[in-house]
Amino acid sequence: MSGKLYLCATPIGNLGDVSARCLEVLSSADLIAAEDTRRTLQLLNHFGITKPLTSYHEHNKREKGGYIVSLLKDGKNVALVSDAGTPAISDPGEDMVKLCIENGIEVTSVPGPVAAVNALILSGLNASRFAFEGFLSVNKRHRREHLESIKNDTRTLIFYEAPHKLKNTIADMQSAFGGNRRIALARELTKIHEEVMRCTLDEAAAYYEENAPRGEYVIVVEGAAAEKSETENEWNDVPVKEHVERYISQGMTVKDAVKAAAADRNVPKRDVYNEYHKED
């Protein structure tokens, strides 16, 4: 019988965030596959765990993936650990999961920290609907096309970013989303220098003209302003005639009042005109 692949979430900074079950799984696995063996070794040493450790990262995932699958097929249990946080979220763990599924090997998760979710809940932005966008491409054109394609998304958007690319990314976001869009820059989460800066894109750009970005960042961006749907339009409760007359009473011509009312109600001018002139 095949063994199991355990996707073990590890701390994104504070070692106290490791779960009891994660330690139990790491202690009992036949092999630990780690994205960054040095970092994982620190974790294992801290908790006194000694287990065979192998690397599994972006540059060896093909050969190493095959090797890990062969061990799993031999009945060994393997714990997969990423650099930090939850494996398969913006790291090669995703490929390992696909490979196991293709080979009929059971995969299970040991939940824990994810930088994106923690940044979202601290952002103060709408957390009920959000989209995780991961890392933007290093290619300028692809990055801009990506941002253009999501500029009208009304969900909160979450990005990962490295400090040396932060300023360019903020500039590209200003161009795509407009400088008034609110953001939260969550930095060094769960660590001593944890900080969440809540501001607009323009304010963030001005701040990083004066201050060098430091540490690991998650950028949380407010979604685009939603156009009011027909059912949400507050003018729906006001009869059309009364609506037009309100503008006329403010000194507008009938033509301008019809135009303004049509814009408020998000309907064609002709409809408002016809309704206004309809006999009671």
Which 144-173 positions form the footprint of ligand SAM (CB under 6 A)? Answer: 160-162
Which 91-110 positions form the footprint of ligand SAM (CB under 6 A)? Answer: 91
Q: What contacts 104, CB < 8 A, 6 or more positions away?
A: 2
Question: Considering the rule CB under 6 A, would residue 222 count as an interface residue with ligand SAM?
Answer: no
The secondary structure of residue 239, as a DSSP letter, is -
Among 43, 81, 84, 204, binds ligand SAM (CB under 6 A): 84
- Distance, CA of 112 to CA of 87 (rounded, Å): 10
Task: Mark 34-73 with x for binding to ligand SAM (rule: CB under 6 A) and - for no binding.
Answer: ----------------------------------------
- Distance, CA of 41 to CA of 265 (rounded, Å): 62
Q: How far is the CB of 165 from ligand SAM (least distance, A)?
A: 10
Facing residues of 33 across strands? 54, 80
Task: Mark 108-127 with x for binding to ligand SAM (rule: CB under 6 A) and - for no binding.
Answer: ------xxx-----------
> Which CB atom, from 119 or from 257, has the smaller least distance to ligand SAM?
119
Among 95, 202, 203, 216, binds ligand SAM (CB under 6 A): 216
- Distance, CA of 184 to CA of 158 (rounded, Å): 10
| Assigned token pair, 225 | 């302003």
- What per-residue string of b and e applies to 254-271 under the rule 16 or more CB within 10 Å gives b? eeebbbbbbebbebeeee
The secondary structure of residue 278, as a DSSP letter, is S
The neighbour count for residue 145, using CB atoms within 10 Å, is 12
Q: How far is the CB of 99 from ligand SAM (least distance, A)?
A: 18
Q: How far is the CB of 252 from ligand SAM (least distance, A)?
A: 52
Question: Considering the rule CB under 6 A, would residue 221 count as an interface residue with ligand SAM?
Answer: no
Summarize as ranges the residues that interact with ligand SAM (CB under 6 A): 12-13, 82-86, 89-91, 114-116, 160-162, 186-191, 216-218
